[in-house]
Structure 1
């Protein structure tokens, strides 16, 4: 079974003064603005790194819920924060690290078992696997007249 979800972004202008918008198939994001200032200057608005962080934290929480359920536990609450680090490297910029911070309330689980399930989930959640995924690209150039 393959599940496909889509997101779309549009960009106009140069890197520093240009503007973009992001939309998702579900409508959770609908022409959400983003730009250089929201990515590099801490201005309000979205950016690719926070979207990756949102996806990773949400996926991790859901995957941990599954792992807990398989082990016979149900969480009262799982709160996951993902901090995505974007660093300047030799050939431009790169996401160099994602720090996951999980706080959970679960009855009757030993800390050792919780830690083991978190480590298992860190390796196994679909967004964690994303960095090693196969990627395809189709590029079409519309000629400007």
Structure 2
């Protein structure tokens, strides 16, 4: 597994208010029709997502996400890479929260928690292919 974080998703109880905060910092939003408010960073993207939708995607009750909920995303080049990385995470002591599956927006994802409970998403996003160096951009490179 290459060392990278592709997408940091923060579960937002008030998505508009949280977005206003990042807007006020001078961050520029990236168009996203799927309910995520996204900001491209240097080498990563920060996403703000309604906490209820985040819990639904992971397959857990909202209450288990706690305060300040987020997922760390590791994007892969191919859909077939998602399940093996989940297996590797489980073998290393992680816990599978949701196995690899196709998701409504056209990608393929799965979730695991590290031994401390930090939640990771392993994702293939066909709309945001990784650059040759593995870097991620919300709408892909090009």
TM-score (norm 2): 0.25
Is the helix fraction higher in 1 or 2? 1
Which fold has the larger relative contact order, with Cα–Cα distance below 8 Å and residues 6 or more apart in sequence? 2
Larger radius of gyration: 1
**TM-score, normalised with respect to structure 1:** 0.24
